[in-house]
C-alpha cells in the first residue's frame, strides 16, 4: 500500500462528499425550478423564467462535465443546439428562445439526468467518504466513546456490530480499518463510476449526434460558398488595386523612360527631372505592392506567427491596445491568416464605432480550440448577425468551423469572442 494510493483514496473521499452534496442540492433545486417554470408557461410567466432556469441548468451540467474531465478523465460531450445569430430581442425573442430550448432534445436529457443525479448518483458518491469516515468513527468508539453512548442509550450499531463493550468497540475499529483498506482500492473507482453514470445520462444519443452532424455539414456547406464568394471578391480587389495603383505607376515609369531616352542628348536638364519623377513613381509602386502583399498575408505572420503579428498590428493602432498571448505553438497557415484578419477587423470596428479609449486582446489555446477575445471599454451596442459589421468575421471563421460570440450591453464594455478548432505544432 503506497502513499500515493492512500492519498488518492482520501482525495476521492473528499470529492465524493462534495459530489454528494453538490448532486443532491443542485439537482433538487434545479429540477423543482425547471418543472415549475415550464408549468408556468401556461400562465405566461414561464416564457420569461424558463430560458433563464434552463441556462442555469446547462451551466450546472457543464460544471459537472468539467469536474468529470479534471477529476476522473471522463469526457462528457454535449449537443446543445446553438441559437440563431439573428435571434431577436424583446418579448418576441424571449418567446422564440424559450421555444428553441424546449425543442432541444439535450434539454430533456438534462432534466432526466437531474432525476438520476438526485437519487442513484449520490448513493455511489457517498460510499467514497463513508469508507474513510467509518474507520475514524470506529477508532473513536474504541478510544472509549462507546461507554457514554452505551450508558446513555444502550449501545451503538457500527455496521453489523452492536457496540456494548470494549471488546465490541475494538471489533468496530478493526472493521473500520478494513473499510479504509477497501477504500484505498475502490474510492477512485466510485468517483469514476459517479461520473460514468452522468455521462450515460448526459451524452447525446446517436440520433442527436446525427442531427448535430447534419447541421454541421449544412453550416460548412454554407460557409464554403461564402469562402468561395469571398475569395472571388478578394481576387477582384487585388486585380483592381494592381490595375489602378502599381500597374499605372509602372506604366508611367515606362513612358518616362521612353521620353528620357529621346531627350537625354537634346535636353539633359529636362531628362534629369524625368529621371527623378520616374524614381519617385517606382518607389511609390513598390510601396503599394508591399501594402498589397501585406493585405494578402502579412510577412510578420508568416515569419513569426499569429501572436507577434497581432502585437505588431496593435502597435500601429491609434488606441492603447494590450495583447496577451499564450500559444505554445503555431496553427496551420490558413487558420493563422483567418484569425489574424478576424482580429484586425474586430479592432477596426472597435476603433471606428465603439468610442473606446482602450482595447484588450487575449489569445490562448486549450482543449483543441484557439480562443481569441477582443474587448473594448466603449459604449457597447454591437450586434452580430446578418447585416452587421461582424458578419464578415463570422463568415471568415465559419470556413474553419469556428464560431463568433458578442457580448455588448448598452454602455459597454464590448467583448468579441472567437473560437477556431485547431491543433498547434
Q: Share the mean pLDDT of the chain.
A: 80
| Band (23; pLDDT cuts 50, 70, 90) | very high
What is the pLDDT, as a whole number, of residue 85?
Answer: 63
Residue 414: is it exposed, middle or buried by C-beta count within 10 angstroms (0-12/13-18/19+)?
buried
The stretch 391-408 carries a mean pLDDT of 78
Q: Is the pLDDT of residue 369 over 60?
A: yes
What is the pLDDT, as a whole number, of residue 74?
Answer: 87
The stretch 357-382 carries a mean pLDDT of 87
What is the pLDDT, as a whole number, of residue 19?
Answer: 92
Q: For the chain, what is the radius of gyration of the CA atoms?
A: 33
Distance CA 327, CA 330 (A): 7
pLDDT digits (tens, 9 = 90+) for 306-345: 888 888 888 888 888 899 998 888 888 888 888 888 888 8
pLDDT digits (tens, 9 = 90+) for 196-211: 999 988 887 766 666 6
| Grid coordinates of 207 | 440520433
pLDDT digits (tens, 9 = 90+) for 144-163: 777 777 777 766 777 788 77
Pick from 74-78, 83-87, 121-125, 226-230: least confident:
226-230
Q: Provide the angle, in degrees to the nearest 10, between the axes of the packed helices 120-140 and 166-202.
A: 160
| Band (293; pLDDT cuts 50, 70, 90) | low
pLDDT higher for 261 or 121? 121
Picking from 261, 285, 296, 287, the residue whose alpha carbon sits closest to that of residue 275 is 261
**Which among 22-26, 167-171, 349-353 has the top mean pLDDT?**
22-26
Q: Is the pLDDT of residue 29 over 90?
A: yes
Picking from 238, 131, 243, 218, the residue whose alpha carbon sits closest to that of residue 177 is 131
Amino acid at each position: 500500500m503506497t502513499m500515493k494510493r492512500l492519498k488518492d483514496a482520501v482525495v476521492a473521499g473528499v470529492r465524493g462528499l462534495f459530489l454528494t452534496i453538490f448532486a443532491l442540492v443542485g439537482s433538487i433545486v434545479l429540477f423543482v425550478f425547471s418543472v415549475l417554470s415550464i408549468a408556468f408557461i401556461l400562465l405566461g410567466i414561464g416564457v420569461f423564467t424558463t430560458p433563464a432556469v434552463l441556462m442555469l441548468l446547462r451551466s450546472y451540467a457543464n460544471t459537472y462535465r468539467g469536474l468529470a474531465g479534471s477529476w476522473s478523465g471522463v469526457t462528457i460531450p454535449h449537443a446543445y443546439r446553438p441559437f440563431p445569430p439573428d435571434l431577436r430581442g424583446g418579448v418576441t425573442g424571449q418567446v422564440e428562445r424559450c421555444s428553441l430550448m424546449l425543442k432541444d432534445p439535450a434539454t430533456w436529457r438534462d432534466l432526466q439526468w437531474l432525476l438520476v443525479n438526485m437519487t442513484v448518483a449520490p448513493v455511489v458518491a457517498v460510499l467514497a467518504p463513508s469508507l474513510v469516515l467509518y474507520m475514524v468513527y470506529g477508532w473513536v468508539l474504541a478510544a472509549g466513546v462507546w461507554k457514554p453512548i452505551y450508558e446513555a442509550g444502550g449501545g451503538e450499531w457500527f455496521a453489523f456490530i452492536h457496540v456494548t463493550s470494549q471488546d465490541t468497540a475494538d471489533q468496530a475499529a478493526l472493521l473500520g480499518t478494513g473499510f479504509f483498506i477497501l477504500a484505498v482500492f475502490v474510492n477512485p473507482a466510485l468517483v469514476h463510476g459517479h461520473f460514468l453514470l452522468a455521462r450515460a445520462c448526459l451524452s447525446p444519443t446517436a440520433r442527436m449526434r446525427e442531427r448535430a452532424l447534419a447541421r454541421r455539414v449544412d453550416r460548412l456547406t454554407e460557409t464554403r460558398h461564402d469562402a468561395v464568394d469571398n475569395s472571388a471578391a478578394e481576387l477582384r480587389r487585388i486585380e483592381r488595386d494592381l490595375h489602378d495603383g502599381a500597374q499605372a505607376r509602372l506604366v508611367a515609369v515606362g513612358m518616362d523612360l521612353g521620353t528620357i531616352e529621346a531627350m537625354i542628348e537634346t535636353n539633359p536638364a529636362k531628362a534629369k527631372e524625368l529621371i527623378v519623377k520616374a524614381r519617385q513613381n517606382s518607389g511609390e509602386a513598390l510601396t503599394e505592392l508591399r501594402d498589397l502583399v501585406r493585405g494578402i498575408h502579412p510577412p510578420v505572420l508568416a515569419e513569426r506567427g499569429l501572436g507577434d503579428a497581432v502585437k505588431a498590428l496593435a502597435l500601429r493602432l491609434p488606441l492603447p491596445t494590450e495583447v496577451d498571448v499564450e500559444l505554445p505553438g503555431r496553427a496551420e497557415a490558413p487558420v493563422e491568416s483567418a484569425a489574424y484578419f478576424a482580429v484586425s477587423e474586430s479592432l477596426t470596428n472597435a476603433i471606428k464605432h465603439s468610442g473606446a479609449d482602450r482595447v484588450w486582446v487575449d489569445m490562448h489555446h486549450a482543449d483543441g480550440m484557439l480562443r481569441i477575445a477582443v474587448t473594448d471599454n466603449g459604449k457597447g451596442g454591437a450586434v452580430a448577425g446578418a447585416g452587421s459589421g461582424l458578419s464578415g468575421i463570422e463568415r471568415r471563421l465559419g470556413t474553419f468551423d469556428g464560431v463568433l460570440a458578442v457580448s455588448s450591453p448598452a454602455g459597454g464594455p464590448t467583448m468579441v469572442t472567437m473560437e477556431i478548432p485547431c491543433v498547434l505544432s
